[in-house]
Amino acid sequence: MTLWLALDIGGTRSRAAAVTNTGAFARRAQAATPLALEAGVELIWRLADDVLAGERPQAVGVSIGGPLDWRNGRVSPLHQPAWRDIPFRDMVAGRFGCPVYLDVDTNIAVAGEYLADPTRPQRLLYLTLSTGMGGGFLVGGRIYRGGDAAHPEVAHQAIPFRCRHPERAVCECGSEGCLEALISGNGIRRIYGVPAEELDPEAWSEVAYNLGQGLRNLTVICAPDVIVLAGSVALGGGAPLLAGALQVLHRNVRIVPIPQVRLSTLGPDSALIGAATVARLGYDPVG
Ligand SMILES: [Zn+2]
């Protein structure tokens, strides 16, 4: 069987899927991501071997947390402290002997969202709220890149926020006032003492307000056509979270068109589906 390999390496879980020429997953596997580098790499090889079942992939798509240098495929995912400046693209290419498309999870996911949307939005902004928070911006089907290969980190913008324990809002990047510290899974746990799925309605309304302020900034600065929200926190918050955030957006954005804001239709697998898409289509969102 002709197969492609999709890998989604997250701070909490790693996933692999073998993808057929229709885009369907022939087999998939996942496991908790170990903290140690060597154990993490071993796990990824094992998941890949499980789903490939002896077949050689035509190409591999890899989604991993930022930061990374997309020019040389070296990765330093913020939420995997043991992985620093690891030449992971070369390691994957060496292991499987085929083309490898590797990028920040949000860039891979936004490519998957774009290709799954028949309207092909010209300016598509993707935000994910899970362990951490990140974003990817696709303009005319190409990833918007920052200077010197930097990935724009929309999660580390500052906003006017509401928070019952502001002293607990501490960002893992070391800066002050970051949006990620208020609305990511880790941030929520730090502030409210429980995971997002156990938040009370008042805490959710703070999260929605803060998310809305972030969307407001992104809207007035980038003027996107569509904003897609993904990740376990956004999907778990669902329609009420979206409604609360939209209220803030509509109240505060007056001179820029309000974008369509929606939850990801790809569900919790958007990065894995994106990795499958870029591998199978050879679609390289690297600009
Ligand atoms: Zn930060």
Task: State residue 78's pLDDT score.
Answer: 84
Annotation: CATH topology of 109-267: Nucleotidyltransferase; domain 5 (3.30.420)
CB atoms closer than 10 angstroms to residue 80: 23
Q: Which residues of the chain have pLDDT under 70?
A: 284-287
pTM: 0.86
Q: Where are the domains of the chain?
A: 3-104, 109-267
Instruction: Report how far ligand 1's centroid is from the alpha carbon of 176 (Å).
Output: 7
Task: State residue 79's pLDDT score.
Answer: 82
Instruction: Report how far ligand 1's centroid is from the alpha carbon of 127 (Å).
Output: 15
Instruction: Report how far ligand 1's centroid is from the alpha carbon of 193 (Å).
Output: 20
Instruction: Report how far ligand 1's centroid is from the alpha carbon of 245 (Å).
Output: 20
Q: Is the distance from CB of 259 to CB of 217 less than 8 angstroms?
A: no
Instruction: Report how far ligand 1's centroid is from the alpha carbon of 229 (Å).
Output: 19
Instruction: Report how far ligand 1's centroid is from the alpha carbon of 109 (Å).
Output: 21
Question: Measuring CA to CA, which residue among 18, 46, 19 is closest to residue 32?
Answer: 46
Task: State residue 267's pLDDT score.
Answer: 80
Q: Each residue of 215-239: pLDDT tens digit?
A: 999 999 999 999 999 999 999 999 9
Instruction: Report how far ligand 1's centroid is from the alpha carbon of 61 (Å).
Output: 27
Task: State residue 103's pLDDT score.
Answer: 93
Instruction: Report how far ligand 1's centroid is from the alpha carbon of 190 (Å).
Output: 14
Task: State residue 109's pLDDT score.
Answer: 92
Instruction: Report how far ligand 1's centroid is from the alpha carbon of 153 (Å).
Output: 9
Tell me how far apart the alpha carbons of residues 22 and 242 are, in angstroms, rounded to a whole number: 32
Residues near ion ligand 1 (Cβ under 5 Å): 156, 171, 173, 175, 178
Task: State residue 115's pLDDT score.
Answer: 83
Tell me how far apart the alpha carbons of residues 242 and 263 are, in angstroms, rounded to a whole number: 8
What are the beta bridge partners of residue 86? Answer: 75
Yes or no: domain 3-104 corresponds to CATH 3.40.1390.10: no
Q: What is the DSSP letter of 266?
A: S
Write the DSSP string, 214-261. HHHHHHHHH--SEEEEESHHHHHHHHHHHHHHHHHHHHH--SSPPPEE
Fold agreement between 3-104 and 109-267 = yes
Instruction: Report how far ligand 1's centroid is from the alpha carbon of 184 (Å).
Output: 11
